[in-house]
Amino acid sequence: MSFNRSAHNEWATLAPFGTDVRYFEKCDSTNTLAVDAGNKGEKGPTWFVAGQQTAGRGRRGNTWKSYDQNLYSSYLFRPNVALSELAGLPFIVSLAVRDTFIALGCDSKDVHCKWPNDVLIDEKKANGILIETSAASGQLSEFVVIGIGLNLNGYPKDNEYPATSVSQQLSSKIDVASAFKVLSHVLDIRLSKWTPSDISMVTAEWSKSAWGIGTRRLIKTTNESFNGTIVRLESDGGLLVHLDNGTEKCLYAGDIFSTIPAG
Ligand code: BTN
């Protein structure tokens, strides 16, 4: 892990007032750093940002590879809400990522939110979000870490779901610090408006730019894979799907794929 004081001072000016920023040229994972800091009692709000991750972590145990000039960041904070009230967070963070891509120059018509927390540009995955929490008493979240990776200038070519970068879409290099500045501010604004006990406003806004509603898709959960038509995002964050066998299912975890294998 390499910590650079002058880079740290420079990055500290980018986030909203009152938010600390720790910048590392290289670390294993900014989420791991943030979770460790949370476990040691750091209050936050604090951003952990890295130029490169050697052990980036993705959802469902996947690894998150490092590419030069992408953003690797994790936000540690203590929202003091029940674990059951965190359901809206993935949608708030996805909307903040969407805001960021649009602020960087992407056409809003091309930027869609894919359940549960991906943002697509031109139908391709351009980010990753990994939210981790600790529960002190099993009821209240002691701290929350929001990990956000943005494909600014690099992206995997061998992803199970096709990927892209902002740079690829706009045909110009993206400045990582500028992108972080936008992201940290839009997330701050969105979190300040968050009402954990009622996320219907957030799910309604997310639904307006949702990808795949009304279309038949392949859905994978931890235990099963099935085809179904995506009906809507429910006001509690669940995804209602109409299965090919005529039944309906509300999903709270899983992944959606655009292609349905023949047969
Ligand atoms: C996904 O699988 O789509 C989520 C990927 C999340 C990656 C980000 S990069 C910054 C933070 N640190 C990590 O190790 N993971 C998250």
**Nearest Cα to Cα of residue 194 among 64, 261, 96:** 96
- Cβ pair 27, 54 in contact under 8 A: yes
**pLDDT of amino acid 127:** 98
Pocket test residue of 57, 115, 118, 148 for ligand 1, highest count of atoms within 8 A of CB: 57
Strand partners of residue 124: 121
Greater confidence (261 vs 172) lies with 172
pLDDT band at 199; cut points 50, 70, 90:
very high
pLDDT band at 223; cut points 50, 70, 90:
confident
Structure tokens at 112: 């869609």
Residue nearest (by alpha carbon) to ligand 1 atom 11: 147
Q: Decide whether any atom of ligand 1 lies within 6 Å of the 162 Cβ.
A: no
Residue nearest (by alpha carbon) to ligand 1 atom 16: 147
| H helical segments located in 118-261 | 166-170, 176-192, 200-208
Whether the pLDDT of residue 3 is over 80: the answer is: no
Residue 201 vs residues 50, 113, 233, 236, 251: alpha-carbon distances, Å: 33, 15, 12, 11, 20
**pLDDT of amino acid 10:** 84
Kindly give the interhelix angle for 5-12 and 176-192, rounded to the nearest 10 degrees: 50
Q: What is the mean pLDDT of the chain?
A: 93
Highest mean pLDDT among 9-23, 90-104, 218-232: 90-104
Tens-digit pLDDT profile for residues 55-80: 999 998 899 999 999 999 999 999 98
- 97 C-alpha vs ligand 1 centroid, how far in Å? 13
Residue with tokens 């929001």: 146
User: What distance in Å separates the CA atoms of residue 39 and residue 30, rounded to the nearest whole number?
Assistant: 14
**pLDDT of amino acid 147:** 98
User: What distance in Å separates the CA atoms of residue 35 and residue 132, rounded to the nearest whole number?
Assistant: 8
Q: Tell me the chain's radius of gyration from C-alpha atoms.
A: 18
User: What distance in Å separates the CA atoms of residue 64 and residue 86, rounded to the nearest whole number?
Assistant: 23
Beta strands in the chain (DSSP E): 2-3, 20-26, 46-50, 71-77, 111-114, 118-121, 124-125, 127-135, 141-150, 216-220, 225-233, 239-243, 248-251, 255-257
- 244 C-alpha vs ligand 1 centroid, how far in Å? 32
**Nearest Cα to Cα of residue 98 among 114, 85, 86, 76:** 114
Contacts of 214 (CB under 8 A, 6+ apart): 229, 230, 231
Tens-digit pLDDT profile for residues 42-51: 999 999 999 9
Q: Decide whether any atom of ligand 1 lies within 6 Å of the 117 Cβ.
A: no
User: What distance in Å separates the CA atoms of residue 252 and residue 20, rounded to the nearest whole number?
Assistant: 32
Which atom number of ligand 1 is nearest to the Cα of residue 118?
3
φ, ψ (nearest 5 deg) of residue 10:
-65, -45
Q: Decide whether any atom of ligand 1 lies within 6 Å of the 116 Cβ.
A: no
Q: How many residues does the chain have?
A: 263
Residue 65 vs residues 49, 55, 62, 98, 183: alpha-carbon distances, Å: 15, 8, 10, 21, 20
